[in-house]
Amino acid sequence: MKNKIRIGIVGGAGYTGGELLRLLVNHPSAEIVYIHSKSNAGKALHSVHQDLVGATDLVFSHKLDDNVDVLFLCVGHGDSLKFMEENDVPKHIKIISLSQDFRLKENAVIKCREFIYGFPEINREAIRSSDNISNPGCFASSIEFGLLPLAKNKLLKDDVYSTGITGSTGAGQTKSETSHFSWRENNVQAYKSLKHQHLGEINETLSTLSGKAVPPIHFIPWRGDFTRGIFITSQLKCSETLPELYKIYDEFYKGHPFIKISREPIFLKQVVNTNNCFINMEQAGDIVVIHSAIDNLLKGASGQAVQNMNLMFDLEETEGLKLKANYF
């Protein structure tokens, strides 16, 4: 039997950390060595993530352990940078950061470690050979999935107008006025209109793939009255016909197991609890509408991180990620 990948997790008490634990507990090639959490040190995992009762006897630790192969940083934005500044991680340990701290090229190097943008659908080979991965953002991923084939084929010629609605888990576990039940139930709200923090990585990714600066992305995110999932709708001018566009998308995502191009209308429950992204397109005159849907905690965070780990350690890309959607 092959040796398992020894794993450390920093910040395992939040939503993304919990989802990562659920994936890795059942991953056939993974062994969780420790989960670092100052606020929960000494507590059993299942006391925080209560669905893990009987699945593991692990407890949260206040200590780091250098006897691991890969370290996941499941901490808030700014905290991955702080961790790297305050700790000297041995060179043999690969790092996967789930915060936005190292996503942009101008911020990708720290302590002689250069982070690669962890988007397998465009950077698969670079991820395979890298020791440091910066996982994409959830909104960034869902918008990019819908626009990458157009960028690659230099079809982003006019401004793009995108809207996206996300579940409450996208805001993290810290309680806030807009996350409690009585506010969320039967309610929606736009926020961070035209200035969401993921726009930087979206523009950089699309421009890099296109080979030139792309037109502006005008993005309006919405808070939804559900727990998980992201549904994006982007519209732009495009002269290609719908059959031509579907051919472009089929070709671009050929060989990428988690991207599903649908000729039928898509909906959120198709992707919730999976590492899939569903894409559908419509057209009226010279306006094309692109719908893309992902689970914000899986393909938008922890599932993508495990997919990157699989690539870094030469495993089957889908290992531990063949998940079932709720659907109903």
- Residues tagged active-site: 138
How far is Cα 58 from Cα 46, in angstroms, rounded to an integer? 9
Burial 262-291 (b: 16+ CB within 10 A, else e): eeeebebebbbbbbbbbbbbebeeeebbbb
Contact 270, 264 (CB under 8 A): no
The DSSP call for residue 44 is B
What one-letter code names the amino acid at 54?
G
The DSSP call for residue 163 is E
How far is Cα 173 from Cα 217, in angstroms, rounded to an integer? 29
Name, in order, each residue with C-beta under 8 angstroms of 16's C-beta and a sequence gap of 6 or more.
Answer: 74, 98, 297, 301, 302
Torsion sign over Cα 98, 100, 106, 110: negative
Q: Which H or E run contains 122?
A: helix 120-128
Name, in order, each residue with C-beta under 8 angstroms of 112's C-beta and a sequence gap of 6 or more.
Answer: none
The DSSP call for residue 186 is T
